[in-house]
Amino acid sequence: MNQVEELERAILARAERLAGEYRERAVRSRDSILREAAERLRLREAREEGIAKALAERTFRQRVQASELKMQTHLDRTRWNLVLGVERRLAERMRAFIEDQVAYDAWLLSLIVEAAGVIESPEIQVAANAHDQRRLFMNWDTVVAALPHDKTATLAPAPEAIDTLGGVLVTSADGRIRVDHTFEGRLERLRPRLQQTILERLLPGGFDTGNLFNG
């Protein structure tokens, strides 16, 4: 074998080694590119999944909040209707109570005496609706006799009758001190208790109405 042939073989061997090396590099580069592409795809999918999950959670929370608001509105409306129902029943009971003249007159007297003990004034004035004004006028001697010895009372003139279902409004002579013992005034003071009772029992009949009429 001459030197030319040996040189050719050496060149071919070298070319084959270089080709093999390039093929290996190409394979490694391809695998690396594929891995990087797969990782980028995985990260993008994970990011998109996270975004989708966050959007879904936000949408869910919004729907839950909307449902809660709707339910709260419904509960508030139901509570208000229950309160109105109870007040209507109380008004009906009050009208029936007024029909019992003996018991009602005694109740009015107790309200006046109680207010007289609270008001720090020697003179008080009593006002009621037109119907009760007439009843009080007829029994005024009894009212005066029941007052503390250091108190005097006057009955408001007929034109000054107040608009109330029942009860009395007692004031000091100068009008600065007021004790509202009307049905509406007592009901207003009891309203928080009324609403709480409805919330606790969810039944209008659960409201203790005794104090409204008796204490």
* CATH code reported for the domain at 100-214: 3.30.2320.30
List the chain domain ranges: 100-214
pTM score, two decimals? 0.60
Give the CA distances from residue 2 to residues 9, 33, 36, 123, 170, in Å, rounded to whole numbers and listed in that order. 11, 46, 51, 148, 141
Pairing of strands 123-127, 167-172: antiparallel
Give residue-wise pLDDT tens across range 111-137.
Answer: 999 999 999 999 999 999 999 999 999
**Tokens, residue 114:** 């109680």
Give residue-wise pLDDT tens across range 44-90.
Answer: 888 888 888 888 888 888 888 888 888 888 877 877 787 788 778 88
- Residue 87 in contact with residue 187, Cβ under 8 Å? yes
Highest averaged pLDDT of the listed ranges 37-41, 45-49, 112-116, 199-203: 112-116
CA distance 54 to 111: 64
Q: Which residues sit opposite 170 in a β-bridge?
A: 126, 179
What band does 1 get if pLDDT is binned at 50, 70 and 90? low
- To the nearest whole percent, how much of the chain has pLDDT over 90? 40
Supply the pLDDT for residue 156.
Answer: 94
**Tokens, residue 81:** 């209707």
- Residue 132 in contact with residue 178, Cβ under 8 Å? no
